Structure 1
Amino acid sequence: MSDRKPRIVLGVGGGIAAYKACEVLRGLTESGHDVRVVPTEAALNFVGAATFEALSGNPVHTGVFTEVPEVQHVRVGKEADLVLVVPATANLLAKAAHGIADDLLTTTLLTARCPVAFFPAMHTEMWEHPATRDNVALLRSRGLVVTEPAAGRLTGVDTGKGRLADPREIVDLARLLLDEPRALPRDLEGLRVVVSAGGTREPLDPVRYLGNRSSGKQGFALARVAAQRGADVTLIAAHTVDLPSPAGAKVERVSSAEELRKAVQAAAVDADVVVMAAAVADFRPASRATSKIKKSDDQPDPVITLDRNADILAELVQDRRAGQVIVGFAAETGDEHGSVLDHARAKLRRKGADLLVVNAVGDGKAFGTEDNSGWLLAADGTEQAIPLGAKARLAATLWDAVTGLRQRRLQL
């Protein structure tokens, strides 16, 4: 096995978001990748070459007439395992779509035979212009990845779609493409997808709650990958760690199990796929104290009575519309009554979902981690082991299964 670090070319376009490429570069180098930054001349108006060289440890050039004996304009692209363009301006997308090669970055794009991913950043009017839309469609038709930008604050006082995706999201998707070069096809276009994520909290008093260890990372990865595969994604997010909102997804924040239930039910009415990845509390306090519960030496300890929360997944299955795919998640531990898989198989039969992702939890597994593993169980009895890998990779595996299930149904 080779010890060579994966080689990534980080192209940087001439937009104000170029400064965020430094965060992407830092994330990639810290996760063990060899990164060569290839900016345009315009990009150097925003971030100097010395900054990119210091962060990457590699020289930075923009033209094809430096280090001529090494034929850089061919070698850089041919030797890369992945090419990212961050930010991808409207100008760069146009050049890439039409094969214009007038600097080191655009010649690199022509010679690369590895996965290439563009992360656009521009004003909304430029992103929505027919010329840009045609260029994006042409690049995607050739198998290149052009991601959906985020919506939010742009330059000046403007807001709208066209904001660069969060650098952490870009790093996650880069890892995914290195592991699975074909993980982001546009095979979910036209589908309405609902994903729940995070852990619910059931209040005991104004300062305390019953909760769980869910970070929301897996649900956010599911929403992120679905949006970049073309789906219209609504993410219902309970409490999470500090996670960037997935670019291209609509995010609705909730707190308690009942709030999540109402939000998911409303969003699921016209959804093609619903994925319940949130860790929903099974119980809630029967009553909530209006003031903080105090400790007292002369009073007995309080007794907390719990009521059972609704089974949201079972309700979704019961009320599903024709053709709707419903996916559940199960965090399980083995016990004297059976193994993780024994409990999961019984849960799938009981819930009636089409697919169930099963995670073994405890001892630092699943909750709060960057990686995940488990099993994917289907209602037809098929089972697939999911090896340990990035949560975005598990998300891609699940979406592959969903598209396969939908295709089989269409053939019946």
Structure 2
Amino acid sequence: MLEIRWTEGGEARSARWRSENGSPPPARVAIADERLAAATAYRLACEGTALLWRGDFHAARRLLRAMTRRADHHAPAPRPSRSPSPPPPPASSLVQAFQQHRQARSQRAVTLGRLLVPLDPDHSVPLRRAPDVRSACAQVYGPATEASVTSLRELLGIVGAYEWRRRGVEVPALNDRIHPHYGVFSPVRGEYVDLVAAAPLVSRAGAFDIGAGTGVLAAVLARRGVERVVATDRDPRAVACARDNVRRLGLSGRVDVLEADLFPPGRAPLVVCNPPWLPAKPASPLDHAVYDPGSRMLRGFLDGLGEHLTPEGEGWLILSDLAERLGLRTRAELLSAFASAGLRVVDQLRTRPRHPRASDRTDPLHTARTTETTSLWRLRRT
């Protein structure tokens, strides 16, 4: 168990340190309240000093917003092109832009994460006008046992995820809602779900869903008439989330969710996988849904697919080409990975993204996002 230590009122104090993204406890901690100016707070955070808040909770939220504005103001602003159709930049500059964007976002998160709030042993926040966050914290941190400290930014994320989990996210392909848990990627980008809902089924006898996440694709397959779906994920939170959604949707008798790295035992006529789309190192729990270091999951799925398909079975790989647009992977490398795994392409279904970033000209990766395509590759053994 990690501890955070500080001095307050001339006394040495300590508490359990909570950080879901694995950040170490800060070495320097100062006590802060409404008397601290936003400019000073931001400077101290940039210099590595964490600020343990003792004032009004809503004042802490205002301070975090003010620090966020300063962080965004100091970030290098991209220069929007005046041409409606600018020529694409070279791949090397896109790779550099991607790396700089990730570094800037990472540093921004570290700096803003230095505004801290205390939690009592029952997960309540001992600050004036603090909301009741006990249920939200219990879902993420588990049973309350001792006093602790976490970043205000993380706490607000936990509360927001609690509301998402309670209300759910509408999925048109299901005509129902999926309830994402904290740390499990929400199916807000519906285009990949729509591809699975529209692709022709080779069989309804059974299917595997590899890397199930919320269980949305397993649910879509079951609703399409697949008799039995086995969904896997190696993240215990994702497994719990998928099981919860399967139960909510009334599919417990047709969808089994297992904790496993990639494939379950046996074979199926359909094996579906929507791996993380970018070959880069994740920096937080949610990043694992987007970043696949060394393309481990992608290659693991392709290399193991053949031995988990029935003789006439089909694998569906749902993958964005954003990595190709950014110069992180080439189309030739992807096709070579198919061939090396003994797979051939039967068909490629395509769709364009509908998320807001695709039209955000201030996004440093705007050029790549405007041409991004999401594909469902239908694969069979050669």
TM-score by length of 1: 0.29
TM-score by length of 2: 0.30
